[in-house]
Amino acid sequence: MWLDSHCHLTADRFDEDRAFVLARAREVGVKEMVAIGSGYGIAANQAAVDLAKTEPDIYATVGVHPHEASESDENVLAKIREWSVDPKVVAIGECGLDYHYMKSHRDIQREVFAQQIALARELDMPVSIHVRGDEPDAYSEMLEIWLAEGRGEIQGVLHCYTGNLPFALLALEANFMVSFSGIVTFKNSASLREVAQGLPLERLMVETDAPFLAPEGHRGKRNEPAFVVRVGECLAELHGKELSEISQITRHNAQTFYRLGS
Ligand code: NI
């Protein structure tokens, strides 16, 4: 039994065959999927909330992606607050800092991220974090804002983690879980596999981040939640565990993190 802790199920790349995509995931034992509301335009959060309302095994997050930070304003924050009331909305995000693409100005990214952390703290909700870029260092700036606005009172997940081990260990101390995507399976991701190996299983989650980043064996194709098993296989190998144990642990971690069924 698996839980895809981060996928973009409402992306238009699934419009033609979404029902089949969900069916394939269920067939391989994916029991829950967390549909990320942000990343495809702020208005598109609504689609994730609607999908979660109609599918019992799908949950949603709502937020403003760092790429879209320049489109955010007070009305957007009010809307996030409104969406978050739905019982199937389980987290704020994905939000964070992306200095790799820098699609929104750095100051605006920082401000919109800080606002969402403050909101998550107020609403007592976990946060899905996107962080990318070394110059300037998005990781240390993210952590600084996280500590200042979260005040140690909320939990976050570093989604699709591609950073180094020292930062991941620092993040564990700051109430973060770490989630790995298909990137960890790529042939050229040996150093990321070392990171995954160096972290305790009880703090790990698996995700696809579908429709992008299909794992090794499916590279170049559209990604989908059924492929989360491939990420789990990689973790099983790295930690010397049975696949069933990895699925059980990562699912339990994500259920606890997102407070599913509570
Ligand atoms: Ni994502």
**CATH number, domain with residue 217:** 3.20.20.140
Give the three-class secondary structure for 260.
coil
Q: 153 with 147: CB under 8 angstroms?
A: no
**How many angstroms is it from 237 CA to the middle of ligand 1?**
25
Residues comprising the chain, all counted: 262
Separation of 53 CA from ligand 1 center, angstroms?
20
Neighbours of 208 (CB within 10 A): 30
**How remote is the CA of residue 207 from the centroid of ligand 1, in Å?**
9
Taking only the tens place, the pLDDT of each residue in 21-38 is 999 999 999 999 999 999
Range of the domain at 126: 2-258
Question: What's the token pair of residue 199?
Answer: 């972290």
Confidence of residue 261 (pLDDT cuts 50, 70, 90): confident
Supply φ then ψ for residue 162, to 5 degrees: -135, 10
Residues with CB under 5 A from ligand 1 (ion): 209
148-184: pLDDT as tens digits = 999 999 999 999 999 999 999 999 999 999 999 999 9
Residue 78, C-beta contacts closer than 8 angstroms, at least 6 positions apart: none
Q: For residue 5, report the distance from its CA to the centre of ligand 1, in Å.
A: 10
Model confidence pLDDT, tens digit, residues 118-139: 999 999 999 999 999 999 999 9
How far CA 138 is from CA of 80, 88, 222, in Å, comes to 24, 30, 28
**Number of domains the chain is built from:** 1
